Amino acid sequence: MNFAGELMALPEEVVPLNDPESGLTGIIVLHSTRLGPAAGGCRLWNYSSATKAAEDAMRLARGMTFKNALAGLPLGGGKAVIRQPDRPFDRDALFRAFGRAIETLDGRYLTAEDVGTTVGDMEIIAHQTRHVAGRKPKPGLPGGDPSPWTARGVFEAMQVAVELHLGASLAGLTVGVQGLGNVGFALCELLHEAGAKLMVAELNSAVAARAAVRFGAHVLTSEALIDARIDVLAPCALGGTIDFVAVGRLRARVICGAANNQLFHDDIGRVLADRGILYAPDYLVNAGGIINVAGEHFGWAQTTVSDGVAAIGPRLREVLGRANDSGLLPLQAAEAVALSRIEAVRGRHVLAA
Ligand code: NAD
């Protein structure tokens, strides 16, 4: 098997999490450490089975390998998934146990926030291990919740996507934002400032109402957002929302959002292209948060992080250019660039070089 093929195969290491005292169950997946520690956030979620949790962690960890390589970071790819205990639990004890598990990996895995986890959780983990980022920021240095950086990167990418595909700027376009959590709400802020009209879908009706008041956003259900007359869809909830049903109904011409694994199946990329819908690869556009995590972990200046996040737009332009020239789908072109960087770089530091 060639190197690229090797990378597509199984993860390097899988670590089950099981601490009966705190109720911690789940999994850490180290997909690749070829470019550096396997880095990727920790998700706390209510999975219906251990298999579902493991499948999610595997897919997310692999995505992190490609995301970190494409962003030019000296990081491999990994992910941790913790199953939400089905009875009341001591959150501090749970994250202390998780921190102890990370410490046994000797720096091969670097964690941070993901869906369901907070800066406070990272502070608890930090009592057990130094291999954690997304902690309270020190003045003038990278750190804290990575979400605003993720939102900024998605915004940079979206500007490029609409310019290339619609020949337009965001002002006056209608963007549908699905999920108004840490990233989605911050993205709405940026889009509103840029003069975009907003349609939003959010399970938490109080948050949706806040967006209606603050941004004049039109609130819909997630289902209705797929059918709505929007120019851009920004999936910012969980993955898999662009499925075989949605792809036939979608009226947006561009998809560009923060959620990981937005396409329910890779084949959907072809259907989107056939329908003339531009799909901005998720792991390219949502790298802002991990760039900030890298900056915190490696002690970079905040300007290095800002420059890295600003480079997401030009990177999308490069990848879409490559896709156009070679007849590849955007996701395939992104994967090819990531793989070539992994083969070429092998542990050297690209972003701050
Ligand atoms: P979050 O948990 O803060 O927000 C998700 C929001 O989506 C919640 O408000 C939830 O109520 C809403 N939601 C869930 N299902 C929905 C549905 N079917 N319809 C409408 N709303 C729904 O998470 P986040 O940190 O904002 O991350 C959002 C997505 O971006 C996730 O997929 C995450 O993996 C991805 N991501 C986040 C970051 C980051 O820096 N936070 C970085 C990269 C990728």
pLDDT in tens, 169-223: 999 999 999 999 999 999 999 999 999 999 999 999 999 999 999 999 999 999 9
Q: How far is CA 86 from the centre of its chain?
A: 26
Instruction: Please check whether residues 206 and 324 belong to one and the same domain.
Output: yes
Q: Is 237 in the pocket of ligand 1 (CB under 6 A)?
A: yes
CA–centroid distance, 145 to ligand 1, in Å, is 13
Residue 307 falls inside a structural domain = no
Q: Give the pLDDT confidence score for residue 346 in this predicted structure.
A: 56
Number of domains making up the chain? 2
Q: Is 46 in the pocket of ligand 1 (CB under 6 A)?
A: no
Q: Give the pLDDT confidence score for residue 347 in this predicted structure.
A: 46
- For the cut 60, the answer to whether the pLDDT of residue 303 exceeds it is yes
User: What would the DSSP string read from start to end of 253-318?
Assistant: SEE--S-SS-BSSTTHHHHHHHTT-EE--HHHHTTHHHHHHHHHHHT--HHHHHHHHHTHHHHHHH
Q: Is 286 in the pocket of ligand 1 (CB under 6 A)?
A: yes
Q: How far apart are CA 205 and CA 240, in angstroms?
A: 22
Residue 294 falls inside a structural domain = no
Catalytic residue among 79, 136, 138, 197: 79
Q: Give the pLDDT confidence score for residue 270 in this predicted structure.
A: 95
- For the cut 90, the answer to whether the pLDDT of residue 239 exceeds it is no
Residue 345 falls inside a structural domain = no
Which amino acid is it at 349? H
Instruction: Please check whether residues 263 and 119 belong to one and the same domain.
Output: no
Q: Give the pLDDT confidence score for residue 8 in this predicted structure.
A: 60
Q: How far apart are CA 29 and CA 81, in angstroms?
A: 8
Instruction: Please check whether residues 112 and 164 belong to one and the same domain.
Output: no
Q: Give the pLDDT confidence score for residue 343 in this predicted structure.
A: 85
Phi and psi dihedrals of 50, rounded to 5? -65, -35
Instruction: Please check whether residues 279 and 171 belong to one and the same domain.
Output: yes
Q: Give the pLDDT confidence score for residue 119 in this predicted structure.
A: 96
Residue 96 falls inside a structural domain = yes
Q: Which alpha helices (DSSP H) does 144-287 contain, by range?
A: 147-166, 182-193, 205-215, 222-227, 246-249, 268-274, 282-285
User: Is the CB of residue 244 less than 8 Å from the CB of residue 265?
Assistant: yes
Q: How far apart are CA 271 and CA 291, in angstroms?
A: 31
Instruction: Please check whether residues 10 and 81 belong to one and the same domain.
Output: yes
CATH number at residue 247: 3.40.50.720
Q: Is 203 in the pocket of ligand 1 (CB under 6 A)?
A: yes
Residue 301 falls inside a structural domain = no
Q: Is 204 in the pocket of ligand 1 (CB under 6 A)?
A: yes
Residue 308 falls inside a structural domain = no
Q: What is the mean pLDDT of residues 291-313?
A: 97
Nearest Cα to 305, choosing from 188, 133, 169? 133
Instruction: Please check whether residues 96 and 184 belong to one and the same domain.
Output: no
Nearest CA to ligand 1 atom 30: 259
Confidence of residue 349 (pLDDT cuts 50, 70, 90): very low
Instruction: Please check whether residues 201 and 327 belong to one and the same domain.
Output: yes
For 115-136, how does the pLDDT look when each residue is reduced to its tens digit (9 = 90+)?
999 999 999 999 999 999 999 9
Q: How far apart are CA 52 and CA 50, in angstroms?
A: 5
CATH number at residue 105: 3.40.50.10860
Q: Give the pLDDT confidence score for residue 278 in this predicted structure.
A: 98
| Inter-helix orientation angle 50-70/330-345, to 10° | 70
User: Is the CB of residue 314 less than 8 Å from the CB of residue 287?
Assistant: no
Instruction: Please check whether residues 93 and 187 belong to one and the same domain.
Output: no
Pocket test for ligand 1, best of 114, 222, 255, 290 (most atoms within 8 A of CB): 114
Confidence of residue 111 (pLDDT cuts 50, 70, 90): very high
- For the cut 80, the answer to whether the pLDDT of residue 345 exceeds it is no
For 11-63, how does the pLDDT look when each residue is reduced to its tens digit (9 = 90+)?
999 999 999 999 999 999 999 999 999 999 999 999 999 999 999 999 999 99
- For the cut 50, the answer to whether the pLDDT of residue 1 exceeds it is no
Nearest CA to ligand 1 atom 12: 179
Q: Which residue has the tokens 């595909």?
A: 165
To the query of whether residue 79 is one of the catalytic residues in this protein, the response is yes
Q: Is 345 in the pocket of ligand 1 (CB under 6 A)?
A: no
Residue 353 falls inside a structural domain = no
Please calculate the CA angle 65-7-30 and round it to the nearest 5 degrees.
Answer: 50
Instruction: Please check whether residues 235 and 120 belong to one and the same domain.
Output: no
Nearest CA to ligand 1 atom 14: 237
Instruction: Please check whether residues 16 and 68 belong to one and the same domain.
Output: yes
Q: Give the pLDDT confidence score for residue 5 in this predicted structure.
A: 53
Q: Which residue has the tokens 């291990």?
A: 129
Residue 173 falls inside a structural domain = yes
Domain extent for 11: 3-125
Instruction: Please check whether residues 29 and 118 belong to one and the same domain.
Output: yes
Nearest CA to ligand 1 atom 18: 222
Q: Give the pLDDT confidence score for residue 61 in this predicted structure.
A: 96
Confidence of residue 7 (pLDDT cuts 50, 70, 90): low
Q: How far apart are CA 49 and CA 56, in angstroms?
A: 11
Q: Is 147 in the pocket of ligand 1 (CB under 6 A)?
A: yes
Instruction: Please check whether residues 157 and 267 belong to one and the same domain.
Output: yes
Q: Give the pLDDT confidence score for residue 19 in this predicted structure.
A: 97
User: Is the CB of residue 168 less than 8 Å from the CB of residue 196?
Assistant: no
